[in-house]
Structure 1
């Protein structure tokens, strides 16, 4: 029996990370988000901040990335720019984490990377503009005059990252088992719904 994995993709400032943390805590399993970036930075021997910049740079194309991730060689990886190498490294880390134990993984196309796993539960967290704007201002300290532009910018970056690396549509509901509006439900209820549904589906 394979390990049981919950993946969460989320709109910026929808509270997806907080939901993921609560789900992991309620189930008593590991939680991974920026921890994956930290692991990748150690393998690349560069700072997490520098790697995050590379992580945000889109790879050349979906087919190019698919070719490399399906049959990468040490020589090929050595010659790759960091923006392409980081996705391959993070892909390997995500697979290793999923093979190690049950866990919750936020972002980084984990739902696609682990799509062949039997016990996989994929969630998308979204929220209305007002709720996200308030969270961005109060929790992430984004200036009010810049908040809407920031929401659009980061959502577009995540959508592009997903599209290029998977060939799919980040917003396509068919990619997920559950889509939840944290703006109307609240993060606590979202976490409870994920936990209870995941218990019936994969736990």
Structure 2
């Protein structure tokens, strides 16, 4: 089973993912761990834009030369599939909902929440000033939106691209994890 979690900044998606990984006894992969895995397997240098969310100049150049989004992103999907293989895991971000969509054991989640509550979460848990937290939430969400659109052609956070979209701030992280566990039990039974 692969659980993919895309999330608005400050919604607690990583925290929920860690709870799910612990519950199922499976690894959790995020940007840093996937970049490390890609380096170990010698594929990082072929697509650093994907692993580290670097600017999209290479993509734009390829499009200007007539390549399609599908041609550009096929190697990315193949690299992620090679890295993950058939193991059970939680994937945070990295367009996991798109890349692993055709696996019957994939459950894709999008966590979101009230913007003010997400800013407050960043201030409390990361000790940011209000201005810093606002900037981080705004820029992280914008970068994730652009990154997802760039690599998939899809709108990040749009419900039709996920199995569940959950207000993890309103529900709370533990309740969100429990809801996902119940959902998984129902659909993958």
Shorter-normalised TM-score: what interval?
Answer: 0.7 to 0.9
Task: Name the structure 2 match of 1:37.
Answer: 35
Q: How far apart, in 2, do the equivalents of 1:176 and 1:102 lie?
A: 18
CA distance in 2 between partners of 1:52 and 1:112 (Å)? 14
**Structure 2 gaps, min length 5:** none
Instruction: Check if 1:157 corresponds to 2:143.
Output: yes
> Aligned equivalents of 1:93 and 1:189: distance in 2?
33
Distance in 1 (alpha carbons) for counterparts of 2:4 and 2:51: 23
In the other structure, the counterpart of 1:80 is none
1:167 matched to 2:156:
no
Decide whether aligned partners of structure 1 residues 55 and 133 sit closer, same or farther in structure 2, where only a CA change above 3 A counts. same
2:9 aligns with 12
Contact 2:43/2:79 (<8 A) preserved:
no
- In structure 1, C-alpha distance between the alignment counterparts of 2:3 and 2:13, rounded to whole Å: 12
1:135 pairs with 121, 135, 149, which one?
121
**C-alpha spacing 1:112/1:10, structure 2 compared with 1 (3 Å):** same
Gaps of 5+ in 1: 73-87
CA contact (8 A) 1:9 1:125 kept: yes
Contact 1:37 1:52 in 2 (8 A): no
Matched-pair contact (CA < 8 Å) for 2:69–2:151: yes
**Cα distance 1:103–1:167, how it changes in 2: closer, same or farther (>3 A)?**
same
What displacement does 1:10 show? 0.2
CA distance in 1, matches of 2:154, 2:49: 24
Cα distance change of structure 1 residues 52 and 13 upon mapping to structure 2, 3 Å threshold: farther
Q: Which residue of 1 aligns with 2:106?
A: 120
Give me the CA root mean square deviation.
2.5
Q: CA deviation at 1:30?
A: 1.8
Residue 45 of structure 1, CA deviation: 7.2
Any idea what the Cα deviations from partners look like across 1:64-87, whole Å, max 9, x if unmatched?
4521343x5xxxxxxxxxxxxxxx
**TM-score (ref. length: structure 2):** 0.83
TM-score normalised over the length of structure 1: 0.78
Determine the C-alpha separation between the residues in 1 that align with 2:115 and 2:150: 25
Question: How many residue pairs were aligned?
Answer: 179
Q: CA contact under 8 A between 2:73 and 2:152: conserved in structure 1? A: no
SS at 1:193's partner residue? helix
CA distance in structure 2 between the aligned counterparts of 1:52 and 1:99, rounded to whole angstroms: 18
